[in-house]
Amino acid sequence: MIEDLRQCFLFANMAEPQFQRVVRHAITRQLKTGETLFEQGDSANRFYLLTSGQVKLFRLSPAGNEKVVSIITPGSTFGEALMFLDRPSYPVGAQALQASTLISLDALDFADMLKGSVDACFVLMADMSQRLRELLQEIDELSLHSATCRVAAYLLNHIPADTDTFKLPVAKQVLASRLSTKPETFSRIFKDLSKRGIVTIDGNEIRILDKDALRDAADLCSI
């Protein structure tokens, strides 16, 4: 746990007394695939660092429709911004997409500790500022670009440097929700890209045949 926490930028340069205080209130959690960590509306007394696996954050509409807000990967924290709210509750649900290990951190104690550490405050402010920039960028992309553009941009940003073949990191239905695209639209986009000779699809395995054409389809999106 100590090694995982020290590798996270929130705690990497934290003074030792403060770091030990964080460790004393930290708990390791294990989740099975499909297991819920918390539900939308639950009291937000803790925030989390994912050390292995994959977790989706999602919102449910009154009609029960799900929108994937974020896909958390190892090394990422989530839920920390809520510690500054009075009686905070999680605005999203969290569910494991794979067997996952997390470190659960006491949000209330962490917020109290920040009162005595200017450096820790600035690190957390930098984290929240970066996430705000990412959210504003996503709003721009959802407003200004087509679904095809978003899918093409996602593929471009996930092509490994040494190969043109890779596997989608999550199920297509989850990825469609993350890109604010209906599953049937998502499938039509892949079929169109395949028909145009830009990609081939075999299950979750994607092969890029024409990277220049994919860049044209992305139309300068960046997701």
CATH number at residue 73: 2.60.120.10
Q: Which candidate, 185, 190, 182, places its Cα nearest to that of 207? A: 190
Domain membership of residue 136 (yes or no) is: no
Q: In this structure, what is the dihedral angle of CA atoms 34, 37, 41, 45, given to the nearest 10 degrees?
A: -170
Does the residue 223 lie in any domain? no
Q: What is the pLDDT of residues 31-65, one digit of tens each?
A: 999 999 999 999 999 999 999 999 999 998 887 78
89 and 174 within one domain: no
Q: How many residues does the chain have?
A: 223
pTM higher than the cut 0.75: no
Residues 31 and 115 in one domain: yes
pLDDT at 137: 67
Q: Is the pLDDT of residue 223 over 50?
A: no
Residue 122 — pLDDT band, cuts 50, 70, 90? confident
- The region of weakest confidence among 16-30, 94-108, 110-124 is 110-124
What sign for the dihedral angle of Cα 23, 24, 30, 34? Answer: negative
What residues contact residue 220 under an 8 Å CB cut-off, 6+ apart?
Answer: none
CATH of the domain at 155: 1.10.10.10
SS3 191: helix
Question: What average pLDDT score do residues 58-81 get?
Answer: 89
Contact call for residues 31 and 53 (beta carbons, < 8 A): yes
Is 101 a residue whose pLDDT tops 80?
yes
Q: Which tens digits make up the pLDDT trace of 157-188?
A: 888 888 889 898 888 889 988 888 888 888 88
Q: Are residues 40 and 100 in the same domain?
A: yes
Of residues 196 and 223, more confidence is placed in 196
